[in-house]
Structure formats: structure tokens, C-alpha cells
Structure 1
Amino acid sequence: MTAVRVGTAETRLIVLRGNSASGKSSVAAGLRDRFGRGLALVGQDNLRRVVLREHDRPGAANIGLIDLTARYALDAGYHVVVEGILYADHYGDMLARLRADHRGRTHGYYLDVPLEETLARHAGKPIADEVDADRLREWYRPSDLLPGGVETVVGADSTLTATVDRVMLDTGLAGLPARDR
């Protein structure tokens, strides 16, 4: 397959991965709040569960939709945060192609939260009524890192504020202006 370059040298692509209740969506929202306009959030849960209403499985349609959405936003000049569980065996090839095709800086983060902490955090979420602890245990994959050392591992001891600060600084977003419209 021929590479199709996306984005610009100035766009940032940030991939936030981790198990359920690891803080991915909170970090993504914190980045958006901190940066302002011009940062697109491409959430796996929204595209997979809401838009397509599909189960997470290898080769599912949401994988391509996540890829297309991120590429479209990058080409439109947005910085992009792709966030979700994004199992390495299901999404790894797509993420590798997206990373390789992006003209700008790309940063990956894996939010590493132990199962016990995942269960405790999940218990306080609205979805806890739909997804019980046994299901969460089935979904949990310890250290589901992408190959090649392309992700920075962020431990459960990193606060939300500290994690957002780190990503803002690592990616250079902290020094870039938001869109004015």
C-alpha cells in the first residue's frame, strides 16, 4: 500500500491508549480544555459504540473510521488526539500507518493502570451499570504496548493535571496558539 502523507509539519498527532478507566478520555478532555480550538478529539468509544454501534473485534469498521477521521482532521490543519483502549492486536497496524504517514510530530502514550485501580475507577463511572467487574476483567490487558517503543508509559501515580502538563510540554502544544475561529 502506498503511503498517503497527512497533516503538515506543524500538526501534532497524539495517541492515548490504555485499559478501560485508565484516564484516556479525561486526559484528552484536559488537553482540549488547555489548548482550546484547533484540537480534534477522535474517540474510539464515540466512533465504535455511538456512531457504528459495533463490537470491538479485529477488522471491524471502526478501525478504518478512526483512521479516516484522524487523517481528515490532520489535513484540515487540526492537531489530533486519538484516544481509546485501542488494543495493539486490533489497532496496531492502523496506528503504525497513521504514525508513518503523519508529516508532523507524533506522540504516543500508554496509561498504565493496574487492574485493581481500574476496577475502583470504573465503579464510579456512569457505564458501571452496563459493564460489570467481570466484563472489565475480561477486557483488561496488562502492558498492551505497541511494538517498537513508540509509546511513553504513564503510571497510575501520575495525576490528571500532571499527565496533561506532560503531554502539552512533550508535544509542543503548550507553545502553540489555538485557532481563533
Structure 2
Amino acid sequence: MVGNEGTRLIVVRGNSASGKSSVAAGLREKFRRNLAIVGQDNLRRVVLRERDRPGAVNIGLIDLTARYALDNGFHVVVEGILHADSYGPMLGDLVRAHRGASRCYYLHVPYTQTLLRHATKPDAEYLKHVTEDHLRDWYRDKDLLPDTLETVIDAASTLDDTVQQILRESGLDRVLPIDR
């Protein structure tokens, strides 16, 4: 078992440019301290500099990081593309092991809108290296976790609406942050 009855675990998944990182940042901005963001891109690309493959080391590192934060009283947002076939077993185990409230969300953005959102990213170097071909290869339409574990949020939901929905449904809107 991991965490305690008062900790919250939130998983935010979706395709590239679906708004996962923005949602995680919005949750942190609204909740403030005591909310750990466990980002797939950070752990996989920055910490390990690893390719996204089934059975890759980052899957275990995401799990360990989330569990460590929960066990130390942090609420946790795990965010990333987190393809269901590679990351689903780990995410399912994490949700089942968590003692507190757990909520999983899938941000569903159609491919055409993914391309438009991607083009607005401010990092010119990233845009040079991540092409339309990459996005096409990575895109999976409604790559949902099994057992209806996730709430699907479609592209019509604004960033603020999505953040407010997750705060409300996870119960974070009724929890006082701890100033660490």
C-alpha cells in the first residue's frame, strides 16, 4: 500500500500537445505547495535520456517517484503520453495500491487539433526536432486504460475548466495545502 487516506493521486494522460503539462501546471498553481508533478518527459527524456519503449526503465522510475511522494504526504500528479500498453500495468498497480483518492484522466484531442496546438509551442528548437511525422507516429486515438479507469476530457474543455473539474473530482478543492 502507498500514501495515506488523505493523499490524492491524479493521472493525466493524452497525446502530444493535448495539454497534459498545462493541466499539471494549472493544478499546481491552484493548489500551490505539497503537490508533486511526476512528469514522464522529465524523467524519461531529461533524467534518463531514454527512448520511449515497452519495458523501459522510466516506467519503474515514474512508479517509484510517485510512490515516494505519496508515502511522504504529497499529493501526486503523474502526467505524460503514457501509452496504455506500456504504462497501463504500472498505472493500474499504482492506483490499486494507493490508500487515498485516485483519479485518472485522458485528454482526448483529435489529430488535426494536435497539429495546430503543437505549432503554437514556444520552443523553436523543439519544433524543429519534433515534426508532423513524429506526431503522426505517436498519435493514438483514445488510448484508454482498461476497466474504464479514466475520465475522458475532450478538446472543447478549456484549460481552466479541466483544472477545476480535476480539483473538484479528486477532492483537492477541499484539501488545505501544507506549506513545506
Specify the TM-score bucket, using the shorter chain as the normaliser: over 0.9
Match of residue 139 from structure 2: 140
| Percentage identity across paired residues of the two chains | 64
Match of residue 90 from structure 2: 94
Shift of 1:82: 0.1
Query: Which residues in structure 2 correspond to 1:29-178 (within 5 Å)?
Result: 29-125=25-121, 126=123, 127-178=126-177
Could you tell me how far apart the structure 2 residues matched to 1:21 and 1:37 are?
26
Query: Across the two proteins, how many residue pairs are aligned to each other?
Result: 177
Could you tell me how far apart the structure 2 residues matched to 1:62 and 1:52 are?
7
Could you tell me how far apart the structure 2 residues matched to 1:97 and 1:180 are?
29
Match of residue 26 from structure 1: 22
The correspondence for 1:13, drawn from 4, 9, 14, is 9
Shift of 1:93: 0.4
SS in 2 for 1:180: coil
Which 4+ stretches in 1 moved above 2 angstroms? none
SS in 2 for 1:82: strand
Letter in 2 for 1:53: R
- Give the unaligned 5+ runs of structure 1: none
SS in 2 for 1:15: strand
SS in 2 for 1:33: helix
- Give the unaligned 5+ runs of structure 2: none
Letter in 1 for 2:155: A
Shift of 1:66: 0.1
Could you tell me how far apart the structure 1 residues matched to 2:24 and 2:45 are?
18
Letter in 2 for 1:13: L
Per-residue deviation, residues 3-55 of structure 1 (Å, max 9, x unmatched): xx000000000000000000000000000000010000000000000000000
Shift of 1:180: 1.9
SS in 1 for 2:93: helix
Per-residue deviation, residues 113-158 of structure 1 (Å, max 9, x unmatched): 0000000100121221210001100100001000000100000000
Could you tell me how far apart the structure 2 residues matched to 1:63 and 1:117 are?
28
Shift of 1:100: 0.7
Letter in 2 for 1:168: L
